[in-house]
Chains A and B, each alone.
Chain A
Amino acid sequence: NAGVTQTPKFQVLKTGQSMTLQCAQDMNHEYMSWYRQDPGMGLRLIHYSVGAGITDQGEVPNGYNVSRSTTEDFPLRLLSAAPSQTSVYFCASSYGIGGPNTEAFFGQGTRLTVV
């Protein structure tokens, strides 16, 4: 049971490049989400999904796309990287939000630098 696996751990992009951050979980969780973590700003929700085929925007969705074709995978796409997207990105999964047994499990994070 690997939990939540994110790849890559580190990435440097040039402005305007695109890339996909991968996230996979093996806990059969329905709910998956992406956060970005910036100093002093906590974790801000980018996009989330309540199940395969269903995605929705969080607090800071601009510049990012997601899809959820399977229960296990929830990739995050940066369409045209900007320096403002330099951050640490965390993927998380859980059975849901707020109900019993809804602890969110986080991946190890991806440190992204856009130059």
Chain B
Amino acid sequence: GENVEQHPSTLSVQEGDSAVIKCTYSDSASNYFPWYKQELGKRPQLIIDIRSNVGEKKDQRIAVTLNKTAKHFSLHITETQPEDSAVYFCAASWGNMLTFGGGTRLMVKP
């Protein structure tokens, strides 16, 4: 099956700085890579996703890049704000299953 590793497990940045979270996956057949944000006590919600036929995707302050050869993908958040503080999960689809990374707790200090 698929295995997804996510780093770092915690990340602390100053407001206005950029944050980068990286994930690697094991199965080259994986073709869909979503990112979810989970605020404390809330449900995970999709913030951006990318498919294997695309190398980069942007949505305002967030972007995701995918390197299929190296089997890794990254989430980039620019101009971080306190409301970006949350746990972020990457995931990779394999067949009919979605496998998640272990999560990154992002703390944005005002």
Residues on A close to B: CB < 8 A? 31, 33, 35, 40-45, 48, 50, 56, 58-59, 90, 97-99, 102-104, 106-109
Contact = CB atoms under 8 A, between A and B. Distances in A.
Given A41-B102, A42-B102, A104-B34, A97 B96 contact: yes
A59 B94 CA distance: 12
Interface of B: 1, 4, 6, 9, 31-32, 34, 42-46, 49, 51, 89, 91, 93, 95-103
Contacts of A41: 102
A84 B96 CA distance: 26
A99 B43 CA distance: 22
A32 B99 CA distance: 14
Nearest to A102: B32
Given A43-B44, A98-B31, A107-B43, 8 more contacts: A42-B4, A42-B102, A45-B99, A50-B96, A97-B93, A97-B96, A106-B44, A108-B42
A103 B46 CA distance: 7
Contacts of B101: 42
B98 A42 contact: no
> What 6 pairs between A and B have smallest CB-CB spacing?
A98-B32, A106-B43, A42-B100, A43-B100, A98-B93, A42-B102
A45 B97 CA distance: 8
A102 B98 CA distance: 11
Nearest to A56: B96
Greatest chain A CB density within 10 A among B31, B42, B101, B103 is at B103
Nearest to A50: B96
Contact of A58 (B44, B46, B97): B97
